[in-house]
Structure 1
Amino acid sequence: MPSDNSTRFGRIGIWSSALHPSDPDGAAAVSTAVAELDALGYGTVWMGGSPSLDQVVPVIDATRHITVATGILSIWEHEAPAVAERTARIQRDTAGRFVLGLGVSHGGFTPNYARPYSSMVEYLDALDAASDPVPASGRVLAALGPKMLKLSADRAAGAHPYLVTAEPTAQARATLGPDALLAPELTVVLDTDIERARTVARGMLSMYLQLPNYTNNLLRLGFTEGDFADGGSDRLLAALFALGDPETVRTRVAEYVDAGADHLALQVLTGDRAKDLPLAEWRTLAEALELKPRD
């Protein structure tokens, strides 16, 4: 019997920061892309890069079945009462197909960044106190450490960890308990030339290795400062990414599922900036992971 989480979010989703463009041509391309993701059988589309709720609506309008989630909306950039009002309206209009993903982002991106855990608690309090509150079942939290993971289980549907290996996924499941959603992100480079795949991965990872939230978490997992040099060591890339052919991706997905993930949010990198919406790779993964197409 499928769990509520697997029914609602599906086994596999797509994470992309290219789903909230600023120009009309880009918006049309996104609508076409997310409609195809829906038809291919993906369970959730995660709008990365801190989108606004205004940017969520076109994605929902272009799809019929797939769950749409923010991955994530920064609590520093959006006032809780306004978020609650707009979220409630979107969730009503879509029969709950929208999920509000929230996160504390990073100090380097946010001038007023302070007390991230306490600030998240206060933000959730404000969502609960709004005239049209966002229910815990309608929100997920970006979480890495045990305190935020516990908060994800207590006051949200669950957690959406980003840039994590399979090992802390098992630890996160133990912290969350059996019923909360655990939906980690996993970055994929479909390229059998491993050195070229590593180059693409390092191009993305180098930015994140400048952010203490991620590096501190990786240090807790046993990596060293040496693993962060030059865009990441080979062993760090092997732990954080799925690099190679579709069968490699299947194996890596199984590692996370075996560790306790309900859902994997796959971010596909190609190394080609003109392919922000890598439809060919999304189609390949849908077939390799045996997703069930929708009419």
Structure 2
Amino acid sequence: MSTPTTPRRLSLWGGGPWQDPTRVAEAREVAAEVEELGFARLWFSGGFAPGILPAFGELLSATTSLGVASGIVSIWTATPAQSAAAFADLERDHPGRFLLGLGNSHAPAVEGQGRAYEKPFTRTVEYLDQLDALSPSVPADRRVLAALGPKMLDLARTRTAGAHPYFTTVEHTVSAREALGPEPLLAPEVAVVLETDPSRARAIAREYAAVYLALPNYTNNLRRFGWGDADLLDGGSDRAIDALIPWGTVEQVAARLEEQFAAGADEVPVQVLGGGGDFPREQFRLLAEAFAG
């Protein structure tokens, strides 16, 4: 396989199959392909099981230079001690390649585990304080926060390497860059659909968006940028879906991703939708080629 060279820090974001303990061998194989294609980093969710998933170490050991990041580890499911211990192990075995993404998750997820979702911002500050008190800890430049609103963006700026927003628009990226300043990392996740038929593309996008349009953290953030009920209810308007989830040919999608870089993103973790639970390996290749050279 030839190795495209991506001129910008184009990364991949994934969920299900990357985390699945029954698909470790396949995930390792795909991670090696992702590295060869020239992607900068592989982000995937830490899930809701206690502690840090073994999958992060598995994929680091399957590659030699690819960065791996958690997007995100919930502060409600992994203790500061667990995060610090896992980071120390990964840093020992794969120096400089793991980035710890932390987030305060969402009320339904936390309350579904029998916990009270109270004062998430205060809890995040306390979590970072406890993390910093440990030895070894996780250095500030090796962790990022899932930040959307002004307070979390400021916390990301002052206490971490930067921000990893999720389910946002390019307008949010402009605002986040202004809030962070020029130096911190800004790595907004962008979900995409490589499908040219509008009905099929939007159907795939809406299936993904339905989960997030039911979560106040995301809808409140979108409302800050002028999106109202007509856009956010009933699966989202076409206008909102198109703004949140680029779709079309690979060239059209690549152009939309370029808008994120122009808006101030340092790195764009791309989540390819429509894979039906499989690794969309061909679509990974097409995206890499669109950004090569």
TM-score range, shorter chain: over 0.9
1:149 corresponds, among 127, 149, 153, to 153
Q: Distance in 2 between matches of 1:168 and 1:269?
A: 21
Are 1:184 and 2:183 an aligned pair? no
Within-5 A mapping of 1:127-276: 127-270=131-274, 272-275=275-278
Q: Distance in 2 between matches of 1:249 and 1:63?
A: 27
45-54 or 120-129: bigger deviation = 45-54
Gaps of 5+ in 2: 1-6
1:14 corresponds, among 12, 15, 19, to 12
Change (3 A) 1:16 1:218: same
Q: Secondary structure at the residue paired with 2:26?
A: helix
Q: Distance in 2 between matches of 1:173 and 1:274?
A: 33
Q: Could you say which residue in structure 1 is the equivalent of 2:61?
A: 61
Are 1:30 and 2:27 an aligned pair? yes
Shift of 1:229: 2.7
Q: Distance in 2 between matches of 1:49 and 1:267?
A: 15
Q: Could you say which residue in structure 1 is the equivalent of 2:77?
A: 77
Identity %: 46
Gaps of 5+ in 1: 1-8
**Over the residues paired in the alignment, what is the CA RMSD in angstroms?**
1.4
Q: Could you say which residue in structure 1 is the equivalent of 2:4?
A: none
Equivalent residues, number: 279
TM superposition score normalised by structure 2: 0.92
Shift of 1:49: 5.1
Shift of 1:274: 4.3
Shift of 1:95: 1.4
Does structure 2 retain, via aligned residues, the 8 Å contact 1:53–1:87?
no
Q: Secondary structure at the residue paired with 1:244?
A: coil
Cα deviation code 1:194-241 (max 9, x no counterpart): 111000000110111110000111111111112123311110011101
Runs ≥4 residues deviating over 4 A: none
TM superposition score normalised by structure 1: 0.91
Does structure 1 retain, via aligned residues, the 8 Å contact 2:190–2:245?
yes
Q: Distance in 1 between matches of 2:8 and 2:101?
A: 16
Q: Distance in 1 between matches of 2:109 and 2:21?
A: 20
Q: Distance in 1 between matches of 2:226 and 2:82?
A: 41
Q: Could you say which residue in structure 2 is the equivalent of 1:282?
A: 284
Q: Distance in 2 between matches of 1:95 and 1:130?
A: 19
Shift of 1:59: 0.9
Cα deviation code 1:146-178 (max 9, x no counterpart): 110111111111000000100111110011010
**Alignment-mate amino acid for residue 29 of structure 1:** E
